[in-house]
Amino acid sequence: MRVLVVEDEAQLSEQLAGALTRAGYAVDCVADGETAEFMGQTEGYDAVVLDLGLPKMDGLAVLRRWREAGIRVPVLVLTARGSWHEKVQGIDGGADDYMAKPFQMEEVLARLRALIRRSGGQASPELRSGAVALDPRSSSVTLDGVPVKLTGHEFRVLSYLMHHCGRVVSQGELTEHIYSQDSERDSNTVEVFIGRLRRKLGAEFIETVRGLGYRIGEAP
Which is nearer to Ca ion, 3 or 148 (by Cβ)?
Answer: 3
Distances (CA, A) of 185 to 30, 128, 176: 19, 28, 9
Kindly state the smallest distance separating residue 62's Cβ from Ca ion, in Å. Answer: 12
Which is nearer to Ca ion, 12 or 110 (by Cβ)?
Answer: 12
Residues with Cβ within 8 Å of 98's Cβ and at least 6 positions away in sequence, in order, are: 76, 77, 78, 79, 86, 87, 90, 91
Kindly state the smallest distance separating residue 7's Cβ from Ca ion, in Å. Answer: 7
Positions that interact with Ca ion (CB under 5 A): 8, 51, 53
Which is nearer to Ca ion, 56 or 198 (by Cβ)?
Answer: 56
Kindly state the smallest distance separating residue 16's Cβ from Ca ion, in Å. Answer: 12
Distances (CA, A) of 32 to 13, 52, 94, 100, 218: 12, 10, 19, 19, 42
Q: Strand 213-216 vs strand 97-100: parallel, antiparallel, or unpaired?
A: unpaired
Kindly state the smallest distance separating residue 51's Cβ from Ca ion, in Å. Answer: 4
Which is nearer to Ca ion, 14 or 144 (by Cβ)?
Answer: 14
Q: By Cβ distance, which residue is nearest to Ca ion?
A: 53
